[in-house]
Amino acid sequence: MPSLSNPFRKSKKEEKETAKIGAEMVQGKTFLKAMLLRDLADLDAVKNEVRSGNILILRITPLANKNVEDVKRAVNELCEFATSIGGDIARLGEERIVICPPNVKIWREKASVASEPIPTAA
């Protein structure tokens, strides 16, 4: 007969099944992660995350405070990487960039042509 001291406690078998289901749920999921780019050595971790199917928002300010040339090098390398895997990359303001895996594309608004009227609320 089960103990009534703690009716909400899971058995070892239930804990293992829950852990297994949790691991299966994580596989195949896409996560949106925020990371700091402090050094060029961080690029390997960024690439691994994107290869795993995650979307990354990178704050590049820490690296920019150290060396602007390293920022240019890092952005160029990440652009080449995103293109090589069929992913996407875009700038989010002055401090951040977003990198997406192949199954995610970044929507970009097309610039309006000067000859077309701009819609306004009436």
CB 107, CB 98: distance < 8 Å: no
Pick the CATH number of 31-100 from 3.40.1190.20, 3.40.190.10, 3.30.110.150, 3.40.47.10: 3.30.110.150
Phi, psi torsion values for 68, nearest 5 degrees: -65, -35
Place of tokens 């390398």: 77
* Strand 55-59 with 96-100, pairing: antiparallel
Q: What is the pLDDT of residue 7?
A: 52
The SS3 of residue 99 is strand
pLDDT of 23 reads: 47
Of 58, 53, 57, 33, nearest in space to 101 by CA = 53
pLDDT at 120: 61
Sequence ranges of the domains in the chain: 31-100
The tokens describing 90, both together, are 């875009």
Alpha-carbon distance values, 113 to 117, 120, 121 (Å): 8, 15, 19
**pLDDT value, residue 28:** 76
SS3 53: coil
The three-point CA angle 39-43-48 to 5° equals: 145
Check if the beta carbon of residue 94 is closer than 8 Å to that of residue 58. no
Per-residue pLDDT of the chain in tens (122 residues, 90 and over written 9): 455 555 555 566 666 554 554 444 456 789 999 999 999 999 999 999 999 999 999 999 999 999 999 999 999 999 999 999 999 999 999 999 999 999 999 999 887 666 666 566 65
